[in-house]
Amino acid sequence: MYRGVCNQWFLLLLLVGPMFVFSAEPLGQEQVTNLGEVLSKTQINDFDITIFPDGRNLPLGEGSVSKGREIYQNQCALCHGKEGIEGPAARLVGSDGWFSFSDPFRILRIDKYPILLISVGGLWPHATSIFDYVRRAMPHYAPKSLNNEQVYAITAYILYLNNLVGEKTILNKKTILDVAMPGNERSISAWPEVAKPNL
């Protein structure tokens, strides 16, 4: 097709032309710098700690309620209370609200620790979130010191305190997905915001 058009200027245009086409801004995007380094799979795996409600990223391993009781009493009870209700740290057990038959003294504690109005057992929609949070942040004074089996065990014990699993339960990446959290069916999402910002 280019026979007879071997003009040197045409050839120059042919070489140089594409540079202008491909460096022009793509439609709808801004020119950006490219200073990010490629992130390796190994590195991602080391930091990929988020557990999703569908079970994604849950590790292998298992933990029992009885093992969880042992760890809880040694490492968790001092902040969360022997029964997971007294505080001073976040309430793990029972319903949310001012009153509870399981904790008749709640209303006296709330004055000092207002966040005890809500509880993990009452509000959290997914058991996977308990695993996720305990593993990344607990105990408060030594985060990320528990191994995966210990985290399964503590999660099992917290669920047991809330009467959400039986005493003989072994929690692992499969059985944790079977737990029905009371907060789940009460949940609605305010996102996306329909018809906002206008009233």
Partner 1 sequence: MKSKNIQYVADGGLLDRRAFFRGSAAFTAAMLAAPRVMSSPDVSKAKIGESHPTWMKIPGTNDMPYGLPSRYEKHVQRHLAEGAPETSLFSVWHSPIENQRGIITPSGLHFSVNHNGVPEIDPQKHELMIHGLVEKPLKFDMESLLRYPQVSNIYFLECAGNTASNAVSLNALDQNCQELFGQVSGSEWTGIPLKYLLQEAGLKSNAKWVIAEGADGGSHARSIPVEKLLDDAIIAIYQNGERLRPSQGYPMRLFVPGWEGNANVKWLHRLEVTDQPAFTKDESGLYSDILDNGKIQRFSFHMDVKSVITHPSGKQALPEKKGFYEISGLAWSGYGKIKKVEVSADGGKTWAEAQLDANVLPKSLTRFSIPWQWDGQPASLLSRATDEFGRVQPTRDVWRDKYASYSFNHYNAIQAWSVSRHGLVENSYV
Closest CA to 69 of 169, 136, 158: 158
29 binds partner 1 (CB under 8 A): yes
Helices 148-161 + 65-75 axis angle, to 10: 90
Rounded distance, CA 75 to CA 78, Å?
Answer: 7
Q: With 0-12 CB in 10 A as exposed, 13-18 as middle and 19+ as buried, what is 27?
A: exposed
Query: Binding of partner 1 at residue 187 (CB under 8 A)?
Result: yes
Are 131 and 155 within 8 A, CB to CB? yes
Q: Is 63 in the site for partner 1 (CB under 8 A)?
A: no
Q: Within positions 146 to 175, which residues make up the interface with partner 1, using CB under 8 A?
A: none
Give the length of the chain. 199
89 binds partner 1 (CB under 8 A): yes
Among 69, 109, 126, 173, binds partner 1 (CB under 8 A): 126
User: Residues binding partner 1: what is the number (CB under 8 A)?
Assistant: 64
Choose the stretch contacting partner 1; rule: CB under 8 A; options: 10-18, 68-76, 124-132, 153-161: 124-132
Q: Which is nearer to partner 1, 8 or 45 (CB)?
A: 45
Which of 8, 19, 23, 33 touches partner 1 by CB under 8 A? 33
Structure tokens at 165: 């699993």
C-alpha distance from residue 108 to each of 3, 95, 103, 114, 122 (Å): 94, 16, 10, 10, 19
Does position 13 bind partner 1 by CB under 8 A?
Answer: no
> In the complex, which residues of this chain contact partner 1 (CB under 8 A)?
29-30, 32-39, 43-44, 47-54, 78-79, 87-90, 96-98, 112-115, 117-120, 123-126, 128-129, 132-133, 136-137, 140-141, 143-144, 183, 186-193, 196-199
